[in-house]
Amino acid sequence: MDAKERAGEWAASQVRDGMAVGLGTGSTAAFFIRGVARRVREEGLKLRLLASSSYSTILLATELGLPLATLEQVDALDLYADGADEFDPQKRLIKGRGAAMVREKHLVHLSSRFLVLVDPSKRVERLGTHFPVPVECLPFSTGLVRAELVKLGAREAIVRPAGTSKDGPVVSDQGNFVIDARFDAAGDVAGLDDAINAIPGVVGHGLFTRYADRVTVAVGHADRVEIIG
Ligand code: 5RP
């Protein structure tokens, strides 16, 4: 079992019959989702499952035969499990490599317990060490948002390209663009979180600074899972 799989399996073991559970997005969350599907199959767990963190997760959960609720039907989650790109000693996060951070934050907000599933490479002293902060914006606001991010100290703010799968930019599940903003390892991350939210045209972003009280980080290693509660 590799580190991500171990973290995902541990999170699946935390699910209890009758819970409302949110399913995150990414390669580590996929191990969690597969683990939940196995437990539903083998143990007959009855769960309310919300896969709305992305179309990617809705497709995976559907393929696995999991019955899904919609966001309109669920206003609170007992548990939400998802990956992260970076976490710091205060259990603050950067998310959004998969461009799903807006929906992911919505589900975190609904949850009373948030399991962050990572491998050791995601641990940093300061957020922004390896990853940019992804900022989702309305397409017509792209220029304004890039300029404002630079004013906030970003040394680079680039529209994320789709790569070989499509010409032009990544288009989010909401039909928006994603700007990757590189800050020299962010200092006042809570202030930056608020300041980015205040830019007109910003739909959301990948700094998660306000949820440490509900976060448990599960760091998968080759032979164990380290829990940072
Ligand atoms: C998607 C995310 C992912 O959870 C994050 O990028 C981690 O992904 P992975 O588990 O594949 O390393 O935020 O938007």
CATH superfamily of 133-206: ACT domain (3.30.70.260)
Q: Judge contact between 57 and 29, C-beta under 8 A.
A: yes
- Dihedral sign for Cα 170, 209, 68, 32, please: positive
Domain limits, the chain: 3-124+209-228, 133-206
> Cα dihedral angle (63, 5, 77, 23), rounded to 10 degrees?
-30
Pocket of ligand 1 (CB under 6 A): 24-29, 82-85, 95-101, 104
Number of CB atoms found within 10 A of residue 59's CB:
11
pTM: 0.96
DSSP 72: G
Answer yes or no: are the C-beta atoms of 58 and 24 closer than 8 Å: no
Instruction: Report how far ligand 1's centroid is from the alpha carbon of 86 (Å).
Output: 9
For residue 27, give both structure tokens: 């390669």
**Short-list 93, 116, 98, CA closest to 207:** 93
Handedness of CA 139, 158, 109, 119 (dihedral sign): positive
Region of 18 please: left (phi>0), alpha (psi -120 to 50) or beta.
left
The number of the ligand 1 atom at minimal distance from the alpha carbon of 122 is 12
The Cα–Cα gap between 92 and 213 comes to 10
| CA of 81 relative to ligand 1 center, distance in Å | 11
Instruction: Note if 104 is an active site residue.
Output: yes
Q: What is the structure's pLDDT at 184?
A: 85
Best substitution site from 2, 5, 6, 28 to test ligand 1's pocket, by max atoms within 8 Å of Cβ?
A: 28
Q: Would you state the pLDDT for residue 141?
A: 98
* CB burial readout 90-126, b (16+ within 10 A) else e: ebbbbbbbbbbbbbbbbbbebbeebbbbbbeebbbee
Cα separations (Å) of 68 from 46, 57, 60, 183, 191? 11, 11, 11, 38, 36
Could you list the pLDDT tens digit for every one of the 229 residues in the chain?
A: 899 999 999 999 999 999 999 999 999 999 999 999 999 999 999 999 999 999 999 999 999 999 999 999 999 999 999 999 999 999 999 999 999 999 999 999 999 999 999 999 999 999 999 999 999 999 999 999 999 999 999 999 999 999 999 999 999 999 999 999 999 866 799 999 999 999 999 999 999 999 999 999 999 999 999 999 9
Nearest CA to ligand 1 atom 5: 84
d(CA 3, CA 173) in angstroms, rounded, equals 28
Pocket test for ligand 1, best of 5, 6, 97, 172 (most atoms within 8 A of CB): 97
Pocket test for ligand 1, best of 6, 9, 25 (most atoms within 8 A of CB): 25
Ligand 1 atom nearest to CA at 118: 10
* 3-124+209-228 and 133-206 agree in CATH topology: no
Which CATH architecture best describes the domain 3-124+209-228? 3-Layer(aba) Sandwich (3.40)
Q: Are 106 and 71 in contact (CB under 8 A)?
A: yes
Question: Which one from 5, 9, 104, 148 is the annotated catalytic residue?
Answer: 104
CA atoms within 13 A of residue 16's CA, in its CB half-sphere: 4
